[in-house]
Structure 1
Amino acid sequence: MSDLYIFDPYDNLVAILSNDGEGACPFWDAPFKEVLNQGSTFEFTAVGDHEDSQYIKAENQVAFQDKDGAFRLFIIKEPERTDGEDGPIITAVCEAAMLELNDEVIEDVRPYNVTLKTAITKALEGVRWKVGEVAELGLNSTNYYYMTPTEAITECINKWGGELRDRVEIEGNRITGRFIDILRRRGEDIGKWWEIDKDILSITERVQSYPKTALYGRGSSLEIEDEEGEATGGYTRKISFADIEWKVKNGDPVDKPKGQKWVGDPEALVVFGRENTDGTLRHRKGIFESSEQEDPEVLLQETWDALQEQKYPISNFEMSVFLLEDIIGYEHEKVRLGDTTFALDYSFAKPIEVEERVISFEYDVSDPDNSGVVELGNFIDLYSDDARLDQIESELNDNKGLWNNGGKKPITDDRIENVTPTQPQNVIASGLFQNVLVEWDFVNTISIANYEVYASQIQGFTPDISNLAFRGKTSIYTHQAANNQQWYFRVRAVNTHGVAGPFSEKAMAQTARIISDDILFGPEIAEKLEI
């Protein structure tokens, strides 16, 4: 069991809450939840008439040791005092201490051709959080222009990759260091098996059936040339594969006639197609984007490959579990955030058999050795920038002919009227295999500096910097998620003066997952299961 160390805002220890020490202030109901690359939450309840309870107040800090012995630090943000049948109690909702970085601003820093450690160091210059353990992920470049250090760290993960961990060091009665770690990955492939009759208290599989049976393909915009082969400054619409023909008899995976701008999967159509009035089946269609692809034949193949990933329903798994690692003889049952594990439940007519990473791990700090809640999925690379850059560049290509009108006096932000943007309309989220495509109506006005997309797996989430997924002047964004995931999105526009408009209505989508015995258990066991 871990104690809670209460510090004042100046890092001085003022009280220790404990359920072990005689005469100490006890606490309970202290869930600590950490989500891969999305931060952590913590709250706790304590008696309200103990002398030390006076220090459970807003802006004081609370630290505890996690299951690996690292100190985690939170700020008390919402203390609530209640007096009733059970006597006076205090419940404190806390915020991860690293979010204090949202109160700092980096004006203009441009790390170029540097290591991830150097880029993180520049992001944290002048603040009290320092660089901790940072993976070696090669050289890259980025820039921080009027953004918070939190956003700068996000930009680093965009470019280099890695997985975030925050921690503090405590010596004596003071906090002596605050550190940001960027690890190559959290957790490891441990071969852990969760089973319903062993350590799973309950398991919930949520199936979302939104398959696609056919996809349109959209590629790059090509530069227009005149009869002499000179560039005109204009650009075509995005290319398609309408002029490409596929025939099964020629070795192609499916028949696709010329003139057809989409490709369909006949097998998926039989299973998931919708019936027309004449008894024929109708495809469930979607759109595949590859905005730098200039070859229609390659675009067709890419679209077909994407369709194979999108033609199945998806599942998501959440489990309440026993944590067995502290029982003698069960040390091998240790599980941490990011670990790759198996979950099995043969109680259903169709058994649950899944191999996924632990992307969310929650346990009670007042009783850390008992039970917890885990969610299984693949790594949610919330901050990956490659896909969204692809979409931004696509929009730039589409409009390049309009913008390349040099020679005119530039229009600067201070010459643009400060008009509050309107609410984005027609926000649509479409689930792909490991991505979600988010689209909205683009308002072609110079007063809008960019659009912001906020993403969360929590249905009623509040948009803030912790779930800001994208910022750019475009009307499309590809969110890199994971298989078996359900995501919610809200969009808003921000003008050149930094004034944000209202958020859009919520949009929701799910990504897909394919599970086979061969993938789950390996070829040898899969062969035995077929017998």
Structure 2
Amino acid sequence: MQWFIIGRDMHVLCTPSTDFPQTLPIDDSGDSLGQEISITNNSAVGTYDFTTDPRHPDSVYITEGNYIAFRDKYGKDRLYTIMSIEGDEEWTVHCEDIGLDLINEYAVPWDYTARSIEDTLSVVLHDSGWEIGINEVSSYKRATKFEGTTDSQLTRIGDVCNQFDAECEFAIEMKGAKVTKQVINIYKTLGEDKTQQRFIDNINLISLSRSGSIEDLITCIRCYGKEDENGNKLTIADINYDDGRYFSPKGEHRIYDREARNKWSRFRAYD
């Protein structure tokens, strides 16, 4: 089996393999290892767990935030984000196949008249790096209304699919060793649920030991307070703040983190 370890800029860093000697070894054959796909909120959410040797030179690329790509047993090219690493003589690596921006960015409220699912999701996907691939409900039109201000983009995608009586999965398209597309495939129905054990922990580096996680990564926060007597929420829109790292331009409801954006922004991908 062939894997690709890919950096945040979508360039291949190394190519582990079970077929070629001297390459970074990956083992996903244990009872609690391998690929798990479960349907949560109308979205097929995948996880991938494997072990590897921290003494191999290419293990430097096994780090939180990088990706591992491979073709799974269903014939789909998958892209998983490395979320956490744990171990001493052997590392156990936990990965999830959803783009970090879909988890960590909030969706906006809306009230739309009847439109297609592609047009409806365009607000969520317009600069996320994801695009619609297979679409089995392209002829459907639905009116949708969402009032929440704390829904993640991933939650909103699932809620929209529910409105269209559909389910979706996340996959990639590759040409050779290069990721060319990140696609959301929309189906009328997906397959069965499966359950496996998951390993997630906090950062802890001692000698060769390692335990790291980017589950709580934040690049910006949206700030809202209580509502006044007229139903208007208190915001920071009247404040202009910039201390070099954190900033919030006047008129904005968000506080941004420059360092986190420079390291984790999706705009680094695909040059």
Q: CA separation in 2, counterparts of 1:99 and 1:144?
A: 22
Secondary structure class of the residue paired with 2:70: strand
Q: Is the 8 A contact 1:6 1:56 kept in 2?
A: yes
Q: CA separation in 1, counterparts of 2:182 and 2:111?
A: 24
Secondary structure class of the residue paired with 1:97: coil
Per-residue Cα deviation, 1:155-180 (whole angstroms, up to 9, x for no partner): 21221111221101122343211111
Indicate yes or no: 2:34 matched with 1:31.
yes
Indicate yes or no: 2:165 matched with 1:129.
no
Partner residue, 1:140: 142
Per-residue Cα deviation, 1:202-235 (whole angstroms, up to 9, x for no partner): xxxxxxxxxxxxxxxxxxxxxxxxxxxxxxxxxx
Partner residue, 2:93: 92
Structure 2 counterpart of 1:73, one-letter code: L
Secondary structure class of the residue paired with 1:112: strand
Secondary structure class of the residue paired with 1:17: coil
Partner residue, 2:157: 153
Q: Is the 8 A contact 1:123 1:149 kept in 2?
A: yes
| CA apart distance, 1:53 | 1.4
Report 1:102-501 matches (<5 A): 102-136=103-137, 138-145=140-147, 146=149, 147-186=151-190, 338=191, 358-360=192-194, 411-414=230-233
Indicate yes or no: 2:51 matched with 1:45.
yes
| CA apart distance, 1:57 | 1.0
Per-residue Cα deviation, 1:355-414 (whole angstroms, up to 9, x for no partner): xxx32277xxxxxxxxxxxxxxxxxxxxxxxxxxxxxxxxxxxxxxxxxxxxxx953244
Greater relative contact order: 1 or 2 (C-alpha under 8 angstroms, separation 6 or more)?
2
Q: Is the 8 A contact 1:116 1:135 kept in 2?
A: no
Q: CA separation in 1, counterparts of 2:132 and 2:64?
A: 27
Q: Is the 8 A contact 1:163 1:184 kept in 2?
A: yes
Q: Is the 8 A contact 1:45 1:91 kept in 2?
A: yes
| CA apart distance, 1:144 | 4.6
Q: CA separation in 2, counterparts of 1:10 and 1:66?
A: 23
TM-score (norm 1): 0.34
Q: CA separation in 1, counterparts of 2:161 and 2:233?
A: 32
Secondary structure class of the residue paired with 1:143: strand
Q: How big is the alpha-carbon RMSD for the aligned residues of Structure 1 and Structure 2?
A: 2.7
Q: Highest CA radius of gyration, 1 or 2?
A: 1
Partner residue, 2:211: none
Indicate yes or no: 2:1 matched with 1:19.
no
Q: CA separation in 2, counterparts of 1:101 and 1:15?
A: 26
Q: CA separation in 2, counterparts of 1:149 and 1:359?
A: 22
Structure 2 counterpart of 1:92, one-letter code: V
Partner residue, 1:7: 6
Q: CA separation in 1, counterparts of 2:76 and 2:21?
A: 25
Q: Is the 8 A contact 1:99 1:150 kept in 2?
A: no
Q: Is the 8 A contact 1:167 1:178 kept in 2?
A: yes
Q: Is the 8 A contact 2:3 2:17 kept in 1?
A: yes
Change (3 A) 1:60 1:139: same
| CA apart distance, 1:141 | 1.1
Q: CA separation in 1, counterparts of 2:75 and 2:44?
A: 21
| Aligned residue pair count | 196
Structure 2, gaps ≥5 residues long: 197-227, 235-271
Change (3 A) 1:158 1:165: same
Q: Is the 8 A contact 2:4 2:16 kept in 1?
A: yes
Change (3 A) 1:114 1:66: same
Structure 1 counterpart of 2:230, one-letter code: I
Q: Is the 8 A contact 1:111 1:122 kept in 2?
A: no
Per-residue Cα deviation, 1:102-134 (whole angstroms, up to 9, x for no partner): 222333443320122221233212211111112
| CA apart distance, 1:44 | 0.7
Per-residue Cα deviation, 1:2-43 (whole angstroms, up to 9, x for no partner): 322100111110011111112212211341111134512111
Q: CA separation in 2, counterparts of 1:158 and 1:129?
A: 19
Structure 2 counterpart of 1:169, one-letter code: E
Q: CA separation in 1, counterparts of 2:133 and 2:111?
A: 21
Q: CA separation in 1, counterparts of 2:193 and 2:64?
A: 30
| CA apart distance, 1:152 | 1.9
Q: CA separation in 2, counterparts of 1:171 and 1:162?
A: 29
| CA apart distance, 1:99 | 4.5
Q: CA separation in 1, counterparts of 2:233 and 2:112?
A: 28
Structure 1 counterpart of 2:144, one-letter code: T
Q: Match for 2:67 among 54, 61, 81?
A: 61
Structure 1 counterpart of 2:97, one-letter code: A
Indicate yes or no: 2:78 matched with 1:72.
yes
Q: Is the 8 A contact 1:106 1:144 kept in 2?
A: no
Secondary structure class of the residue paired with 1:10: coil
TM-score (norm 2): 0.64
Structure 1, gaps ≥5 residues long: 84-88, 187-337, 339-357, 363-408, 416-531
Q: CA separation in 1, counterparts of 2:178 and 2:171?
A: 14
| CA apart distance, 1:60 | 0.9
Structure 2 counterpart of 1:34, one-letter code: I
Per-residue Cα deviation, 1:47-77 (whole angstroms, up to 9, x for no partner): 1221111111111111111112211111111
Structure 2 counterpart of 1:412, one-letter code: G
Q: CA separation in 1, counterparts of 2:172 and 2:157?
A: 17
141-150 or 5-14, larger mean C-alpha shift: 141-150
Q: CA separation in 1, counterparts of 2:176 and 2:77?
A: 13
